[in-house]
A and B are shown apart, each in its own frame.
Chain A
Amino acid sequence: MIHIDWILLIAGGWLLLAAVSLLVLRATRIVARWIFPAGAALGLGLLVVAIDAAFSPAEVAELLIGLPGLPMHLRVDALAAFFLIVIGAGACGTSLFCAGYFRTEEGTAPGLLSFEYHVFLAAMTLVVLADDAYTFMVMWETMAVSSYLLVTANHRLASVRNAGYLYLLIAHIGAIALLMCFGILQDNTGDYRFSNLRAVHLDPVWSSVAFGLAVFGFGAKAGLVPLHVWLPEAHPAAPSPVSALMSAVMLKTAIYGLLRVCLDILGGGPWWWGMVLLALGLASALLGVVFSTVQTEMKRLLAYSSIENIGLIVTGIGLALTFHAYGMTALAALALSAALVHVLAHAFFKSLLFLGTGAVLHATGERNLGKLGGLIRTMPWVAWLVLAGALAGAGLPPFVGFVSEWLLLQSFLLTTILPNSFLNMLIPLVAAAVALVVALAGYAMVKFFGVIFLGQPREEKLLQAHDAGSWERLGLLWFAAGVLLLGLFPTLLIELVDPVTRRLVGGGLAPAVQANGWLLLAPSGIDRASYGPIVFLCGVGAATLLGLLIARGLFRGTLRRAATWACGMGLLPVRDQARLQDSAEGFGQPIRQIFETFFHVSRELPAPSDVRPRYRVLIEDRIWLGAYLPIVRAVDAVARQVGHLQQGRISIYLLYSFLTLLVMLLLVRA
């Protein structure tokens, strides 16, 4: 019983920190220098405990609180442990960053922020630990509310308020769907423990309904299309560390729930379940990445990229479900491992990127890509660390982003002939789509890094930008190191996810991988496919070094620094020269043209006679215009009709009562 006690202790510790920070509401120094570092330490502890727990048998615990007759059941098994690792890692780095970040209070007192922040962490931990529907829902909603309060930290801005509202509303509707899902799963037994939900045998229709509700509910939290609309609003609104946590960790709790319900409680289902997830995942991935390439606001760009990555993860899960339905254990394990590895990968690089935007925001007060640039010179630390994240986000070797991509493509490729010819047609297409998505992600990342950190500063004030403080650097460093090291030792990742896949689909890659030693990742035999990041890195390094030596050896000329030739524009002031660079819109323009159908674009073009001509292009989400606004209008229309019930005349009210009585009497007589 040791692990779960430790984990509970850590969650309790976070709650304690929350309570303490309420006492020092406005003492920014204490909150920053003591409470957040302590939280980081707890996060590290959680990471360690969870790693150990992942390889040990499941443990259960009961709290004294809860419903009468239904105390809160907790359980840590391989699946929970894996996601605890994600939480621990994310919390550790982000808290370190926070220690340096919350210097000034953004609308809310720092103590209050830290309170909400640590409650958020504890809630996420307990969501993963929950072992009965009630506990799960309570923690799930606590998580939602605390994150909502964090998002609305700066509630004086109307945009922030609206973003928070949209977020909480969709989260709540998702939670309602989950409520119905659990209502079906418990099947009138009145026993909400997961163990009982597993034992209950539903007829196929009901279990499919439950599956649908689970996908809806968790999809709303994960940001699956078409429930993604809150994500690009909420992430930019929140303080950057919070965006980092939400995007890197909170979205993953939805993935956890999906796995828990679909694969653990329902134990898989017909093959088309997998197809549903596959379709949703691909749609989200494609839409997310396409939108992220055309964004002009750095945190929106990252938010959309989160949608994309969640989409990829869900695609992997869908594939795993399909294989599982046909009893192809090895392939299911491969696909699931890909998804899980990507969970971890995304947690690391997305935190890194969001924290990077936080540092930039603090240094420049600017979130609009059109006003940034050239920061690599003024804030080298942030720039170079974020570069690692960007490369990982682009799915490039030898970073961790590539490993999951590689595994995912492998699981598509090594598809032996499925018993369903339709699927056999489909799988290659899906693989193609995934490849396209990953390539586009590279485009988005180059845009993100290039426009922010490279080129010439587009505003004078950027020249005074200061580099991140030591705490912030520490946080960034944590994630950057993770991004690189996890990428270099994928075999360890496989070891980590192996227990989970065994638990869920009854098979794992560890044996096959161990057979080839820790240098080489060959999940299905070395002759089928292999990837050795370390050798790879050494190879590239050596070759680069070789190139350097050759150049040095053969070079006879001299090296000179000079101003760039800008087609004679050198006479212009620096600011206008900087204007010559590709703007964010410009960089996204080709994608906008190719994927015109995705967007609802409204342009504001200058007339020939304009004195101060300006060009603005507004890109909106067709789903928002086509699905959400009509719903709102419909509700309002119904409300208007209903309003006529209360039209003020007492005689009418008496008539209602009279008729009600008569109708009831008639019913009785009948």
Chain B
Amino acid sequence: MTADPVVLLALLIAVPIFGGMALAFLGHSRRGPGINVAFSGLTLLVAAALTTEVVQGGPVLGLGERFFIDPLNAFLVALTALVGFTTALFSRPYMRIERERGKMTGPRMRLFHSMYQLFIAMMLVALTTNNLGVLWVAMEAATLTTVLLVSVYRTPASLEAAWKYFILCGVGIAQALFGTLLLYLAADRVIGGGEGALLWTHLAAVKAQLEPNILALAFVFLLVGYGTKVGLVPLHNWLPDAHAEGPTPISAVLSGLLLNVALYAILRCKVLADGAMTNGLPGRSMIGFGILSVVVAAFFLRRQRDAKRMFAYSSIEHMGLMTFAFGLGGPVANFAGLLHMTVHSLTKSAIFFAVGHAAQRAGSQMMDDIRGLLAAGPTLGWGLLLGSLSILGVPPFGVFTSEFLILTSAMRQLPWAAPVLLLALGVAFAAVFARVQSMVFGDSNLPPVRHPPALLPVFVHLGLVLMLGLYVPPFLAGWYRQAAALIGG
């Protein structure tokens, strides 16, 4: 197919926005979930077409330089569209059951579906925009949409979670805005005012001339700001609450996509900061945040009794690991970090699907109430078991691949850091696997549910992760390499 990539780019953003509007009216109907799936599928198709275009034709820069696709965001766009689609598939039966149990009502369904589409749209905007200001706006918008999704059950717990999510992320994002402002200030002196001064491509072109002092300040604000959304310790506190109390599909996309997008934003800024500064401050601060997150999250894992909460902490741990990798820099570590982004979001969303369904059947998210998933439903049990093994870094799944690269390259670059990380990983393994095993094995206590779960996505994701563990497609590897070089190999 030879569609104009720019058109596809426009479609990519238009489709979900339109879907959101449509579902604002149709979301509550019986066909609502179907429509949701349809729009997500359409988005996925557009993304696929765009991807093929980029694979053949290379990077795209369009719509008055406002939007672009380069190796760094190409795979993230595809990933977002894919996970968005599979999550829509999963949420179809899931939300039906929730509705029959009275946890969801018609208006809430409408809210859920339209906000879901808008959320996807905002993430795609954030990923594809070339304008750092727009990036900020999109991030904020994505936060707002998800706030409503987290609190959709209107239970005290979900309200509390949503409130914390809103306030903490709002404040964080505000700091990011200040950072963006400083960036603009710095660019202002080099390129002169106007919108061009916020276009990443322009900034990247002149990054060496940007004033280091301002950039340092700006990067701090951006790191702390977007870092809050990445869930870096000690800015992470909203994350477990939001994941645990929202509907499972939302937990899946939050962990699988939103965190990635936030990290992506940090990466964009890091490129500029690195260009301007010579003292490698960005790298070091990211390493610090990364290690702290991994270690703290590992110990938090030991204390969890709520399944979704536990895997939320595991997300913190893995985002920390990626941050560490990017902070480490160098072709290998960057490559590994990008790979880890991919496999983590696939695996983690798959896990949330499995856990969510299990919790729905058990009628409780407490892990002590969930028993014998293998006996209850082999696909469910195996999905959770394999998913957890994969996320814990057991080969031949892709998570191991990236961890292997990250840790082996860290071992000689930061000999003191690698053991700490590995210790934390050991603790995390012990903590998570003990729980998972008790959930998966033994005799089942779960009643059946009326609608068969859509667990196909689980195995699609795990299959992809398995593939990435044994074989990375050349074009993907190519993107990773170029992106790694872009981030500063």
Enumerate chain A interface residues (CB-CB to B < 8 A).
64-69, 133-134, 137-138, 141-142, 144-145, 152, 155-156, 158, 161, 164-165, 168-169, 172-173, 176-177, 179-180, 182-184, 186-188, 190, 192, 635-636, 638-640, 642-643, 645-646, 650, 653-654, 656-657, 660-661, 664-665, 667-668
Sampled A-B contacts (13; CB under 8 Å): A67-B401, A137-B404, A142-B395, A179-B404, A183-B407, A183-B412, A184-B412, A635-B430, A646-B237, A646-B300, A650-B164, A657-B168, A660-B234
Which of B103-111, B259-267, B464-472 is the interface stretch? B464-472
Residue of B nearest to A109 (CB): B378
Beta-carbon contact of A179 and B235 below 8 Å: no
Task: State whether A638 and B441 are in contact (beta carbons under 8 Å apart), knowing that A184-B412, A645-B234, A668-B217 are contacts in the complex.
Answer: no
Interface residue B52 (Cβ < 8 Å from any Cβ of A) = no
Beta-carbon contact of A176 and B302 below 8 Å: no
Beta-carbon contact of B281 and A155 below 8 Å: no
Task: State whether A639 and B220 are in contact (beta carbons under 8 Å apart), knowing that A142-B395, A657-B168 are contacts in the complex.
Answer: no
Task: State whether A650 and B401 are in contact (beta carbons under 8 Å apart), knowing that A152-B441, A183-B408 are contacts in the complex.
Answer: no
Q: Give bound CA distance, A657 to B173, whole Å.
A: 12
Cβ proximity bits B151-182 to A, threshold 8 Å, 1 near / 0 not: 00000000000011001100110010000000
Q: Give bound CA distance, A155 to B443, whole Å.
A: 9
Q: Other CB < 8 Å A-B pairs besides A138-B395, A144-B394, 8 of them?
A: A165-B437, A173-B426, A176-B422, A180-B419, A180-B422, A184-B411, A635-B430, A668-B216
Beta-carbon contact of A172 and B411 below 8 Å: no
| B299 partner residues in chain A, CB cutoff 8 A | 635, 638-639, 642
Number of interface residues of B (CB under 8 A): 70
Residue of B nearest to A25 (CB): B378
Q: Give bound CA distance, A81 to B175, whole Å.
A: 62
Contact partner of B235 (CB less than 8 A), chosen from A142, A164, A639, A656, is A656
Enumerate chain B interface residues (CB-CB to A < 8 A).
163-164, 167-168, 171-172, 175, 216-217, 220-221, 223-224, 228, 233-235, 237-238, 240, 281, 285, 296, 299-300, 302-303, 331-332, 374, 389, 392, 394-396, 400-401, 403-405, 407-413, 418-419, 422, 425-427, 429-430, 433-434, 437-438, 441-443, 469-472, 474, 477, 480-481
Beta-carbon contact of A657 and B228 below 8 Å: yes
Q: Give bound CA distance, A660 to B400, whole Å.
A: 31
Task: State whether A645 and B296 are in contact (beta carbons under 8 Å apart), knowing that A138-B396, A179-B404, A184-B411 are contacts in the complex.
Answer: yes
A285 CB, nearest partner CB in chain B, Å = 28
B218 CB, nearest partner CB in chain A, Å = 10
Beta-carbon contact of B228 and A164 below 8 Å: no
Beta-carbon contact of A657 and B396 below 8 Å: no
Contact partner of A639 (CB less than 8 A), chosen from B217, B302, B332, is B302
Contact partner of A138 (CB less than 8 A), chosen from B427, B429, B441, B469, is B469
Beta-carbon contact of B404 and A190 below 8 Å: no
| A141 partner residues in chain B, CB cutoff 8 A | 394-396, 400
Contact partner of A653 (CB less than 8 A), chosen from B238, B389, B394, is B238
Task: State whether A668 and B281 are in contact (beta carbons under 8 Å apart), knowing that A141-B394, A650-B168, A657-B168 are contacts in the complex.
Answer: yes
Task: State whether A145 and B394 are in contact (beta carbons under 8 Å apart), knowing that A65-B470, A184-B411, A650-B167 are contacts in the complex.
Answer: yes
A128 CB, nearest partner CB in chain B, Å = 16
Q: Give bound CA distance, A180 to B414, whole Å.
A: 12
Task: State whether A176 and B168 are in contact (beta carbons under 8 Å apart), knowing that A156-B442, A183-B411 are contacts in the complex.
Answer: no
Contact partner of B303 (CB less than 8 A), chosen from A64, A165, A190, A639, is A639
| A145 partner residues in chain B, CB cutoff 8 A | 389, 394
Residue of A nearest to B164 (CB): A650
A159 CB, nearest partner CB in chain B, Å = 12
Beta-carbon contact of A190 and B409 below 8 Å: yes
Beta-carbon contact of A642 and B441 below 8 Å: no
Contact partner of A664 (CB less than 8 A), chosen from B224, B303, B426, B442, is B224
Task: State whether A180 and B302 are in contact (beta carbons under 8 Å apart), knowing that A68-B474, A168-B433, A657-B172 are contacts in the complex.
Answer: no
Q: Give bound CA distance, A155 to B438, whole Å.
A: 10
Beta-carbon contact of A66 and B175 below 8 Å: no
Beta-carbon contact of A668 and B437 below 8 Å: no
Task: State whether A187 and B412 are in contact (beta carbons under 8 Å apart), knowing that A66-B471, A643-B300 are contacts in the complex.
Answer: yes
Q: Give bound CA distance, A191 to B171, whole Å.
A: 44
Beta-carbon contact of B413 and A188 below 8 Å: yes
Beta-carbon contact of A155 and B469 below 8 Å: no
B246 CB, nearest partner CB in chain A, Å = 17
| B412 partner residues in chain A, CB cutoff 8 A | 183-184, 186-188
| B221 partner residues in chain A, CB cutoff 8 A | 661
Residue of A nearest to B300 (CB): A642
| B472 partner residues in chain A, CB cutoff 8 A | 67-68
| B419 partner residues in chain A, CB cutoff 8 A | 180
Residue of A nearest to B296 (CB): A642
Contact partner of B395 (CB less than 8 A), chosen from A137, A161, A657, A664, is A137
Q: Give bound CA distance, A145 to B299, whole Å.
A: 24
Beta-carbon contact of B285 and A664 below 8 Å: yes
Contact partner of A186 (CB less than 8 A), chosen from B175, B408, B443, is B408
| A156 partner residues in chain B, CB cutoff 8 A | 441-443
B175 CB, nearest partner CB in chain A, Å = 6
Task: State whether A657 and B235 are in contact (beta carbons under 8 Å apart), knowing that A664-B220, A664-B285 are contacts in the complex.
Answer: yes
B391 CB, nearest partner CB in chain A, Å = 13
Beta-carbon contact of A161 and B474 below 8 Å: no
Beta-carbon contact of A134 and B404 below 8 Å: yes
Beta-carbon contact of B470 and A133 below 8 Å: no
Contact partner of B408 (CB less than 8 A), chosen from A144, A182, A636, A640, is A182
Task: State whether A176 and B296 are in contact (beta carbons under 8 Å apart), knowing that A155-B442, A635-B302, A661-B220 are contacts in the complex.
Answer: no
Contact partner of B407 (CB less than 8 A), chosen from A180, A190, A642, A656, is A180
Residue of B nearest to A657 (CB): B235
Leading 8 A-B pairs by shortest Cβ distance: A183-B411, A68-B477, A183-B408, A155-B441, A639-B302, A138-B395, A653-B237, A642-B299
| B237 partner residues in chain A, CB cutoff 8 A | 645-646, 653, 656
Q: Give bound CA distance, A121 to B394, whole Å.
A: 18
Beta-carbon contact of B394 and A172 below 8 Å: yes
Q: Give bound CA distance, A169 to B409, whole Å.
A: 24
Q: Give bound CA distance, A67 to B481, whole Å.
A: 13
| A164 partner residues in chain B, CB cutoff 8 A | 437
Residue of B nearest to A656 (CB): B234
B161 CB, nearest partner CB in chain A, Å = 11
Q: Give bound CA distance, A639 to B297, whole Å.
A: 10
Beta-carbon contact of A169 and B433 below 8 Å: yes
B464 CB, nearest partner CB in chain A, Å = 15
Beta-carbon contact of B303 and A179 below 8 Å: no
Beta-carbon contact of B418 and A183 below 8 Å: yes
| B411 partner residues in chain A, CB cutoff 8 A | 180, 183-184
Beta-carbon contact of A180 and B418 below 8 Å: yes
| B438 partner residues in chain A, CB cutoff 8 A | 161
| A656 partner residues in chain B, CB cutoff 8 A | 234-235, 237
Task: State whether A657 and B474 are in contact (beta carbons under 8 Å apart), knowing that A137-B395, A639-B302, A645-B234 are contacts in the complex.
Answer: no
Beta-carbon contact of B400 and A138 below 8 Å: yes
B431 CB, nearest partner CB in chain A, Å = 8
| B426 partner residues in chain A, CB cutoff 8 A | 172-173, 176
Q: Give bound CA distance, A65 to B172, whole Å.
A: 43
| B422 partner residues in chain A, CB cutoff 8 A | 176-177, 179-180
| B285 partner residues in chain A, CB cutoff 8 A | 664, 667
Beta-carbon contact of A179 and B471 below 8 Å: no
Beta-carbon contact of A66 and B404 below 8 Å: no
B112 CB, nearest partner CB in chain A, Å = 25
Beta-carbon contact of B223 and A179 below 8 Å: no
Residue of A nearest to B469 (CB): A138
Task: State whether A643 and B433 are in contact (beta carbons under 8 Å apart), knowing that A156-B442, A187-B412, A657-B224 are contacts in the complex.
Answer: no
Q: Give bound CA distance, A183 to B400, whole Å.
A: 14
Q: Give bound CA distance, A661 to B223, whole Å.
A: 9
Q: Give bound CA distance, A575 to B340, whole Å.
A: 64
Q: Give bound CA distance, A280 to B332, whole Å.
A: 37
Q: Give bound CA distance, A205 to B462, whole Å.
A: 41
Contact partner of A133 (CB less than 8 A), chosen from B223, B302, B401, B408, is B408
Beta-carbon contact of B240 and A646 below 8 Å: yes
Q: Give bound CA distance, A155 to B220, whole Å.
A: 51
